[in-house]
Structure 1
Amino acid sequence: MNAFGRLSIRTQVLLIGALIVAIIPFVIVRVYQQSSATVISQNTEYNTELVSILKQRVSANYANVSALMMNLGYDATLQKFLLEPDKLKQYDLSQKVESLMSIARNTNQDILDIVAVGRTGSYTSLAGRTQRIRELMATAGGDGTVHYRGYSPPDKVLDKGKLLFGMNIFASGDTQFYGEKIGYILVVLDIQSIHSAFEGYPRLAGTNFFMMDDKGVIYANGGDWERMLDNMGIGDEGDENQAAEAGKAAVRKIGGKKYAVQTFALPEISGKIVTAVPIHNLMKELERLRKTSYWLLAVTLLVVSIPYAMLMVNILRPLTRLMRFMKRLKGGNLEVLHDKVDLKGYAEIEVISSEFNTMMGRINDLTGQLVDATSKLYQVDLEKQRAEYAYLQSQINPHFLSNTLDSIKGIAIVKGNQDIFEMTTALSSMLRYSIKGKDEVSLADELKIAEACVKIHQGRFPGRLTFKLVCPEELQDIPVPRMIVQPIVENALGHGLEPRGRGGVLLICASENADGRLEIAVEDNGVGIEPDRLALLTASLASRNAEASGHIGVRNVHNRLWLKYGEPCGVRLESEPGRGTKVVLTLTGRRADANDTRSGDEAV
């Protein structure tokens, strides 16, 4: 809610309007969907009841056929017929068996034929069909139960569709072949009774019924049933997953039309029944509801647009003008302070307009006063700068001091005082170096100034300091910031070597590290730094605190290197009390620059 409150009024109005416009179609769609689902559900229940009756019919036929086959298969007369090797006796027994078969067929008008075949070659049939039964007998299993053996289309002998049920016959009674398979019996059932049952029940126009076994379709009331089954995803071999979902309707698109499809399992024939009802036929009664919903949506949009237009005219448009005026004011144009904003709309908007104009007038007055005060302060500051500049002009000119040192050098040469000459030369070099305008110099020039600083110290304390400088020739031309080594050398001389006295050693060494960065190490064997003090100084360098006291030169050098080159450049301290101090300056070197350049190219 807080996030919504921070949105602009325009956005809030748009969101509320969009929500209202979205809710009404959603409700309409949900009502229509619920109504459609109810209609489909009612049709689904009707089809479920219809198919349940048909399944009962199939189950009853299967049960009757199974009982008949059991009675015939284990009848003593049929058993003797199947085991009799004598042809003449077979003929007499076949007459009796056919009489039994005729009586059994009369009990069930759907039976078209009953065929029995013995292992000795004896056979009998009411309709004279023996070739088919011999094929089925060869593929029969080893048990003695009734099995569905498939569907047979109309042929020359029987112009009817047929369902075949077969059973192995095993010897029973007092015989030497007891328990052995002695023959096979087949019952041919007319499928027309099932067709009549399908057609005898009322159903919606356009409803398609399909009955299938595990090998294909055995009944379809539609002409183009193969295309429909392919579009439904049910092939001639069936779909066991759909059969498992018996009774559940699924909406599918077939030939550009939607159908409510149901699947029911028929375990007696290893198949299923599929029904497909056109959704369009079911939805005819809902067309009026859909048209009413469209009109309701149009009216809702009209009703929402009217208050939105009023809000735009009376609230949003004046606020938009106010925001534009404020943006002009924010741009720094002081002339806007003299303008007035005129807002027309609701009473509250006009009050805002009046108060805002009053505030603008007050700001204009305060701005004029601020400008006058600022002008006076600027004049005072300008006079102060002029006074400071005049004071600086009155100081000793550094160039005059440098020329004076050159004169002292000349007098030292005339007098033959070599020490004064060398100290004056070193001081003059440092002075000229410090007043140069360039920010970068070569490493060789920077090290020369550091060496000049050492010479001055050696002149002050003769015989107390040994100095060594190591810098490979290939590193001498590398540009480095000016005055970064001299402060470190001065700290080493003043804080490390002077307290030690005699025997001091100062080493300056320039090299490249493994990363190709230039490192300048200033190492002495002075008094060193206590661990606590070293930790504080290291922490101060890490924090880059420019206002911390103590070792200002080291901190200044560290900050300059870090600002110029970034991490990991800067100053690193290593020290042990009584054993000296090592200060390492890390800069960007030649190889590091090349690596950075290559990395940048690869990134691009």
Structure 2
Amino acid sequence: MTRMMRLFNRANRYSLANQLVVSFLIIFLLIFTISSLFAYFGILNVLKKNAVDTNQQRFKQNDYNLSVFVNEVDQVSRQLFLEAELQNLINFKSMTEMNSVLQVSAAFQYFTEALSDNKFIDSISYFGDNGFMIRTTAQRNDILYDSNSKVNEFYQNQVYGKMKSAGQTLVWFGGFTDQDFNIADSTPISSKATTPIHYITAARSFYSNNHSATLVINMDMKYFNDIYNHANDIENNDLYLVDGSGRIVSHGDEEKIGQAGAVPEQVFHPAHASDKFASEERNGKQIMSYRINEMGWILVNEIPVSLFIRDILTLRLIVVTMFIFSLASAAVLSRYWIRRITKPLNSLTTVVRRMGQGNLGLTLDLDLKNELGILIAQFNKMSKNIQDLIEQKESIQEEKRTIEIGALQSQINPHFFYNTLNTIKWMAIMVKADNIVESITTLGDYLQPMFKQGMLCTIREEIDYIENYIKIMNYRMAGGVKLHFQIAPEVTEYPILRFLLQPLVENAITHGLKNQNGGVITITASEQKNEIVWRISDNGEGMSEDKLQEIRESLHRSNSEPSGEKKGIGLYNTNRRIQLHFGDRHAIKIQSELNAGTELQFTIPKVQKT
């Protein structure tokens, strides 16, 4: 029972209906999957593009806001520089004590007013190149002069180096805290004071009498972040500023300040110098950047790609549901419909199996108007024809048996034939008729190969046969036919079709030499790679160009039936024998010239010597 079920399952597995169902489902699955993937990634790319376009507009707005802020800070720094007391502090070392006190007091007043008018400024510092420093915060004013440790710390950091190279241009820095600019002699002990406060720093230098001073404005980081981050309504994204080296200078999470930011490679290698926006996908995030030229910084926004595809999760669920439902429906409907279509084919298969078991003449009574109907009609016709052919074959076989019996009854015994020739030969000897004796002997030698078994003989045997034939013909033509052989001895041992050359020699005598009372026939055989090239020529009357073309066309027509002596039955039959045994390319080629003779040429493959 188990074996029967296994065979049944195997038969169903390889049935045409099941194969069609599986093929249809595979094609459906492939098309649906490809189209779904195209739609999915197409929508994802649209969402990414929309997000990029939206962020690019936001970047432009942030660029404008930051530019306004930069101009405001620049205006504050310029107003402070215009104050004479601040410029006089460059020469603080050469002032009298009273004058220096007045100048410092005025500077503190200006700083305090700037802090009061601009709430975003946390502190203002003044650094002279002579070691004189003052600093104003909302809580206190500090002054320091000739303190080497503090002076060296400021003048050795990046602020001072960039300021020297920037001239009087406002330069922006990030990553500093309030402790980097603390010049107080004692550090406050409160926990609030000891917690570092990150700054956004703007600095400008001015010069007088070969001396310089640097004005440093430190702004509150939270206020600065709100300038470009207040309208950020995308969750789980990072929006921050990096300097020219890619280091974070402003971030909502102050612990990340000073770390390396994720800047697109296109920022450092832009296609055009004017390109400010760049975007790339990296590590599951869409990273976009915008260059803020006024500050020399880059605004970076990192958005997880998962945020883009969140909007199409519902679409993906719908697509998967539709896919499962469509696949199940397609499987059921295709199986039903394909089985219905292939039912006539199954019936035809059953009838063919019965015919294979010997039940001939079976037909299928189905009237269909499609290709299966044509197939069934042709099968019915073929079935009837097979039955008719079998009956006809049986009739022919019976007729052949009758003919073979008659042929056996009328067959001439070769021994009787030779004994009769020998009797005639001895009678001629007794009456001393030498010419009759020689003729009968030659005839016996000529007829002997006809009774040999086998299709092949050696070239030597074929040459002997032709020589005997020429002897007999010379009795008729008074010795007028001369036969020349140009055949190398090593060629004579190759096999050749029996009686292949004699009809061609006979054709040369009959058509080429008949009106000349004789002539010369030359037979040449030479080896050429794996073939033997034969040439049979005569010096007879030849033929005209029209006659030559007619014979050539007759030889090339495989279905031609030459009749009459003029077309050369022997020539045609020999050509057909060569083509049937060795192929059309070995057919006879004929050349002839009127009153000059005719030459036949053909090649046959070398048959292995026995």
CA distance in 2, matches of 1:403, 1:212: 125
User: In the alignment, is residue 207 of structure 1 matched against residue 222 of structure 2?
Assistant: no
For the 8 Å contact 2:592–2:599, the answer to whether it is kept is yes
CA distance in 1, matches of 2:483, 2:206: 118
* Counterpart residue number, 2:441: 425
For the 8 Å contact 1:72–1:78, the answer to whether it is kept is yes
Structure 1, gaps ≥5 residues long: 1-7, 176-180, 350-354, 595-604
For the 8 Å contact 1:496–1:581, the answer to whether it is kept is yes
Q: Deviations over 1:331-370 (max 9, x none)?
A: 36317959x99x9xxxx99xxxxx9xxx9xx99xx97997
In the superposition, relative to structure 1, how do residues 164 and 370 fare at CA in structure 2: closer, same or farther (>3 Å)? same
Q: Tell me by how many angstroms 1:61 deviates.
A: 4.1
Residue 334 of structure 1 aligns to a residue whose secondary structure is coil
User: In the alignment, is residue 537 of structure 1 matched against residue 567 of structure 2?
Assistant: no
* Counterpart residue number, 2:451: 435
Matches within 5 A, 1:185-334: 190=219, 192=221, 193-218=223-248, 219-221=250-252, 234=264, 238=268, 240=270, 252=281, 254=283, 258-269=284-295, 272-280=298-306, 291=317, 294-295=320-321, 297-300=323-326, 307=333, 311=337, 315=340, 318-319=343-344, 321-331=346-356, 333-334=358-359
User: In the alignment, is residue 473 of structure 1 matched against residue 489 of structure 2?
Assistant: yes
In the superposition, relative to structure 1, how do residues 427 and 35 fare at CA in structure 2: closer, same or farther (>3 Å)? closer
User: In the alignment, is residue 552 of structure 1 matched against residue 563 of structure 2?
Assistant: no
In the superposition, relative to structure 1, how do residues 530 and 45 fare at CA in structure 2: closer, same or farther (>3 Å)? closer
CA distance in 2, matches of 1:296, 1:203: 34
Q: Tell me by how many angstroms 1:452 deviates.
A: 1.8
* Counterpart residue number, 2:521: 506
For the 8 Å contact 1:208–1:275, the answer to whether it is kept is yes
In the superposition, relative to structure 1, how do residues 505 and 335 fare at CA in structure 2: closer, same or farther (>3 Å)? closer
Q: Quick check: 466-475 or 27-36, which moved more?
A: 27-36
For the 8 Å contact 1:518–1:587, the answer to whether it is kept is yes
Q: Quick check: 419-428 or 158-167, which moved more?
A: 158-167
In the superposition, relative to structure 1, how do residues 54 and 35 fare at CA in structure 2: closer, same or farther (>3 Å)? same
CA distance in 2, matches of 1:413, 1:101: 167
In the superposition, relative to structure 1, how do residues 384 and 155 fare at CA in structure 2: closer, same or farther (>3 Å)? same
CA distance in 1, matches of 2:386, 2:537: 61
CA distance in 2, matches of 1:168, 1:580: 122
* Counterpart residue number, 2:61: 53
CA distance in 1, matches of 2:422, 2:170: 128
CA distance in 1, matches of 2:420, 2:87: 148
AA aligned to 2:234 is L
TM-score (norm 1): 0.67
User: In the alignment, is residue 453 of structure 1 matched against residue 469 of structure 2?
Assistant: yes
Residue 290 of structure 2 aligns to a residue whose secondary structure is strand
Q: Deviations over 1:178-206 (max 9, x none)?
A: xxx99998977758354343453343331
Matching residue within 529, 532, 539 for 1:525: 539
Percent identical among aligned pairs is 20
Q: Deviations over 1:123-155 (max 9, x none)?
A: 998776444466447877xxx895978756559
CA distance in 1, matches of 2:168, 2:443: 124
TM-score (norm 2): 0.66
* Counterpart residue number, 2:180: 157
Q: Quick check: 551-560 or 323-332, which moved more?
A: 323-332
Q: Tell me by how many angstroms 1:587 deviates.
A: 1.5
Residue 215 of structure 1 aligns to a residue whose secondary structure is coil
Q: Quick check: 266-275 or 64-73, which moved more?
A: 64-73
Matches within 5 A, 1:75-94: none
For the 8 Å contact 1:115–1:130, the answer to whether it is kept is no
CA distance in 1, matches of 2:168, 2:433: 136
CA distance in 2, matches of 1:201, 1:80: 44
For the 8 Å contact 1:402–1:431, the answer to whether it is kept is no
User: In the alignment, is residue 484 of structure 1 matched against residue 514 of structure 2?
Assistant: no
* Counterpart residue number, 1:494: 510
Q: Tell me by how many angstroms 1:512 deviates.
A: 1.2
CA distance in 2, matches of 1:460, 1:166: 137
Q: Tell me by how many angstroms 1:544 deviates.
A: 3.3
Q: Tell me by how many angstroms 1:520 deviates.
A: 2.1
Q: Deviations over 1:499-539 (max 9, x none)?
A: 2335x2221122112x3421122121111132222223233
* Counterpart residue number, 2:604: 587
In the superposition, relative to structure 1, how do residues 470 and 240 fare at CA in structure 2: closer, same or farther (>3 Å)? same
For the 8 Å contact 1:570–1:587, the answer to whether it is kept is no
Q: Tell me by how many angstroms 1:408 deviates.
A: 4.2
In the superposition, relative to structure 1, how do residues 385 and 211 fare at CA in structure 2: closer, same or farther (>3 Å)? same
Q: Quick check: 198-207 or 23-32, which moved more?
A: 23-32
For the 8 Å contact 1:163–1:191, the answer to whether it is kept is no
Q: Tell me by how many angstroms 1:586 deviates.
A: 0.8
Residue 157 of structure 1 aligns to a residue whose secondary structure is helix
In the superposition, relative to structure 1, how do residues 293 and 70 fare at CA in structure 2: closer, same or farther (>3 Å)? same
Q: Tell me by how many angstroms 1:88 deviates.
A: 5.0
In the superposition, relative to structure 1, how do residues 476 and 12 fare at CA in structure 2: closer, same or farther (>3 Å)? closer
For the 8 Å contact 1:209–1:220, the answer to whether it is kept is yes
AA aligned to 2:581 is K
Matches within 5 A, 1:166-185: none
Residue 578 of structure 1 aligns to a residue whose secondary structure is coil
Q: Tell me by how many angstroms 1:478 deviates.
A: 1.0
For the 8 Å contact 1:211–1:272, the answer to whether it is kept is yes
AA aligned to 2:292 is L
For the 8 Å contact 1:69–1:185, the answer to whether it is kept is no
Q: Tell me by how many angstroms 1:577 deviates.
A: 1.4
In the superposition, relative to structure 1, how do residues 431 and 66 fare at CA in structure 2: closer, same or farther (>3 Å)? farther
AA aligned to 1:473 is P
Q: Tell me by how many angstroms 1:216 deviates.
A: 1.0
For the 8 Å contact 1:102–1:126, the answer to whether it is kept is no
Structure 2, gaps ≥5 residues long: 1-15, 136-150, 182-195
